[in-house]
Amino acid sequence: MYFNTEDIIPMKEITKICCIGAGYVGGPTMSVIAKKCPHIQVTVVDINADRIAQWNEADLDKLPIYEPGLKEIVAATRNKNLFFSTEVDKAIDEADVIFISVNTPTKTYGKGKGQAADLKFIELCARNIAKVATTDKIVVEKSTLPVRTAGAIKNILDNTGNGVNFEILSNPEFLAEGTAIQDLLNADRVLIGGDETPSGQKAKDLLSQIYENWLPKERILQTNVWSSELSKLVANAFLAQRVSSINSISALCEKTDANVEEVARAIGYDSRIGSKFLSSSVGFGGSCFQKDILNLVYISHSLGLQEVADYWEQVIIMNDYQKRRFADNIISTLYNTVSGKKIVFFGWAFKKDTNDTRESAAIYVADALLEERAELSVFDPQVKEQIVFRDLDYLNTRTPEENRNLLTVVNDPMEQVENAHAIAILTEWDEFKTYDWEKIYDKMLKPAFIFDGRRLLDKAKMEEIGFNYYRIGQV
Ligand SMILES: NC(=O)c1ccc[n+]([C@@H]2O[C@H](COP(=O)([O-])OP(=O)(O)OC[C@H]3O[C@@H](n4cnc5c(N)ncnc54)[C@H](O)[C@@H]3O)[C@@H](O)[C@H]2O)c1
Ligand SMILES: O=c1ccn([C@@H]2O[C@H](COP(=O)(O)OP(=O)(O)O[C@H]3O[C@H](CO)[C@@H](O)[C@H](O)[C@H]3O)[C@@H](O)[C@H]2O)c(=O)[nH]1
């Protein structure tokens, strides 16, 4: 137990909330809290002035994040009880509850490079709160953090603060991008971890009350702070493990004439296994799965649990294999050379209904094909050209000029398929299903190939049109 039992946070009504970090979590989460709690003033702050300006855009189609249902909620609450601001210190000082929702990326330097979570943004937030707070606060870890981070935050707050009382809670977020608003409005559960002292219990109850404005009480789970921190990493590890498990089976299906979708259905009918999250794909992406598993691997390794570390690392090894396998299949099917061949990418986002491309499988498949000198043409309904090049340039595999010589980003999918050798489907956008695939076939060079990394299209129909159609997990 690290909380001083005398540090009693008085039981009072929460009237002001501040959230540090206006990203994919902070923005949608606070919008929903504002919508469901009209009696609470919610201020979302960020040091990124451009991002805040975008959140304050009059044109709601220009919000920094695309999520179905988000702009309607922002329209209903913004400048009523929801505010976006760069005045970080003021918002901290005024708030009863401060959510920390800043990014916690994988470290790219020093000890733990490539595995551990980089907590520098979290520490900066803690030091800032300590510096400006003049009244007692509940500080909530919304970001995904390594187990035992709350201890470090508490230590910073207690040693550099102005004598005010802080309660630290862990309240990890489980929303998935693309369905963030629905996930928040109808969460399976809300997890609140805190210290098992009277004041810790009070803080947990106060935070629970916020969520009880729209969620049944029985879906709000209270645990100790370490269980809560660890559960977030474990939830992502288990989810990603399911994807890697079915993807490993997809490789087996392609060698044995089994169909991965039929296998997934057959096993998913077993209620102990369940049917969700068993869609074989070109590989999982997103900002969370890989980062959080690497974090789990790093923690296990640091604690001397090498077998545990190796076990979870395999989930990532399998995911890398799946992405590489997809690219290799394109190369070998196109007669072992893609040099100078036009390959069209449908999709760049890591999943449908989001403009987020972090760790998207498309980036790595593109990189492998560009190494073979393919000419890529990319279309994604929500991803802008500058983001595609940012993603590729970040890999540092070749110069930015070379990337721009070999790859183009287009706005019109019908135009881009002209004289293409192949189409690769990297994101499962619904609109791809509605395209005029006969017209697309006519425009392409023959034989015309489709490599469906999302099992999105109707195999029989595509073959009837004349395509050579390949999909993950089925020959
Ligand atoms: N993206 C998701 O779907 C998701 C879901 C659940 C949990 N998480 C976790 O939530 C956290 C945030 O993720 P995200 O996707 O929203 O990140 P993000 O990069 O979209 O947003 C983080 C924001 O924090 C801001 N920031 C950083 N340091 C700051 C500081 N000192 N003061 C003020 N602002 C600061 C950044 O400018 C940025 O706008 C991460 O720990 C992530 O693992 C993400
Ligand atoms: O059956 C499946 C399910 C997912 N995926 C892929 O897995 C990745 C992640 O998808 P998803 O989990 O739906 O989106 P995220 O926004 O990354 O959400 C995950 O990561 C968040 C951040 O921690 C958590 O809050 C969520 O609970 C967790 O689902 C995407 O590339 C998906 O295409 C598959 O390939 N097959």
Confidence of residue 231 (pLDDT cuts 50, 70, 90): very high
Residue 163 has what pLDDT? 82
CA of 355 to the centre of ligand 1 (A): 15
Confidence of residue 12 (pLDDT cuts 50, 70, 90): low
Please choose, from the candidates 94, 92, 102, the residue with its C-alpha nearest in 3D space to the C-alpha of residue 130. Answer: 92
As a whole number, mean pLDDT of residues 440-462 equals: 98
Test site for ligand 1: of 51, 92, 100, 102, most ligand atoms within 8 A of the Cβ:
102
Identity of the amino acid at 347 = G
Residue 10 has what pLDDT? 52
Structure tokens at 468: 């050579």
Residues 6 or more apart from 349 whose CB is under 8 A from it? 355, 356, 357, 360, 362, 380, 382, 383, 427, 429
Residue 475 has what pLDDT? 86
Domain(s) labelled CATH 3.40.50.720 in the chain stretch across 16-215, 289-471
Return the residue whose CA atom lies nearest to atom 11 of ligand 2: 176
Model confidence at 311: pLDDT above 60:
yes
Q: Which residues line ligand 1 (CB under 6 A)?
A: 20-26, 45-48, 51, 88, 101-104, 121, 124-125, 143-144, 173, 175, 177, 287-288
Residue 349 has what pLDDT? 97
Other CB atoms within 10 Å distance of the CB of residue 6: 9
CA of 115 to the centre of ligand 1 (A): 18
Which atom of ligand 2 sits closest to the CA of residue 427? 33
Residue 304 has what pLDDT? 98
Third-level CATH fold of 289-471: Rossmann fold (3.40.50)
Which atom of ligand 1 sits closest to the CA of residue 102? 24
Model confidence at 159: pLDDT above 90:
no
Test site for ligand 2: of 246, 292, 350, most ligand atoms within 8 A of the Cβ:
350
- Give the whole-number percent of the chain exceeding pLDDT 70: 97
pLDDT in tens, 382-413: 999 999 999 999 999 999 999 999 999 999 99
Which atom of ligand 1 sits closest to the CA of residue 288? 43
Residue 384 has what pLDDT? 94
Please, where are the H alpha helices in 334-416? 361-371, 385-395, 400-406, 413-416
Test site for ligand 2: of 66, 104, 177, most ligand atoms within 8 A of the Cβ:
177
As a whole number, mean pLDDT of residues 276-280 equals: 98
Confidence of residue 162 (pLDDT cuts 50, 70, 90): confident
Return the residue whose CA atom lies nearest to atom 43 of ligand 1: 144
As a whole number, mean pLDDT of residues 160-167 equals: 84
Which atom of ligand 1 sits closest to the CA of residue 124? 31
Return the residue whose CA atom lies nearest to atom 44 of ligand 1: 25
DSSP summary character for residue 31? H
Confidence of residue 253 (pLDDT cuts 50, 70, 90): very high
Please choose, from the candidates 230, 94, 96, 239, the residue with its C-alpha nearest in 3D space to the C-alpha of residue 170. Answer: 230
State the pTM of this model. Answer: 0.95
As a whole number, mean pLDDT of residues 285-297 equals: 96
Cα distance between residue 451 and residue 434, in whole Å: 17
Confidence of residue 3 (pLDDT cuts 50, 70, 90): very low
Which atom of ligand 1 sits closest to the CA of residue 180? 3
Please choose, from the candidates 331, 332, 298, the residue with its C-alpha nearest in 3D space to the C-alpha of residue 313. Answer: 298
Ligand showing the shortest atom-to-Cα distance for residue 291: 1
Ligand showing the shortest atom-to-Cα distance for residue 359: 2
Binding residue ranges: 21-26, 46, 51, 102-106, 143-144, 177, 288-291, 358
Question: What phi, psi does 43 have (nearest 5°)?
Answer: -120, 125
20 in Cβ contact with 173 (< 8 Å): no
pLDDT in tens, 332-350: 999 999 999 999 999 999 9
Return the residue whose CA atom lies nearest to atom 7 of ligand 1: 173
Residue 306 has what pLDDT? 98
Binding residue ranges for NAD(+): 21-26, 46, 51, 102-106, 143-144, 177, 288-291, 358
Model confidence at 271: pLDDT above 80:
yes
Quick one: CATH architecture of 16-215?
3-Layer(aba) Sandwich (3.40)
As a whole number, mean pLDDT of residues 271-280 equals: 98
pLDDT in tens, 202-217: 999 999 999 999 999 9
Return the residue whose CA atom lies nearest to atom 17 of ligand 2: 286
Q: Which residues line ligand 2 (CB under 6 A)?
A: 144, 173-177, 236, 239, 243, 277-279, 281, 284-286, 288-289, 350-351
> What positions carry a catalytic annotation?
288
Which atom of ligand 2 sits closest to the CA of residue 351? 33
Residue 264 has what pLDDT? 98
pLDDT in tens, 411-450: 999 999 999 999 999 999 999 999 999 999 999 999 999 9
CA of 180 to the centre of ligand 2 (A): 11
CA of 287 to the centre of ligand 1 (A): 10
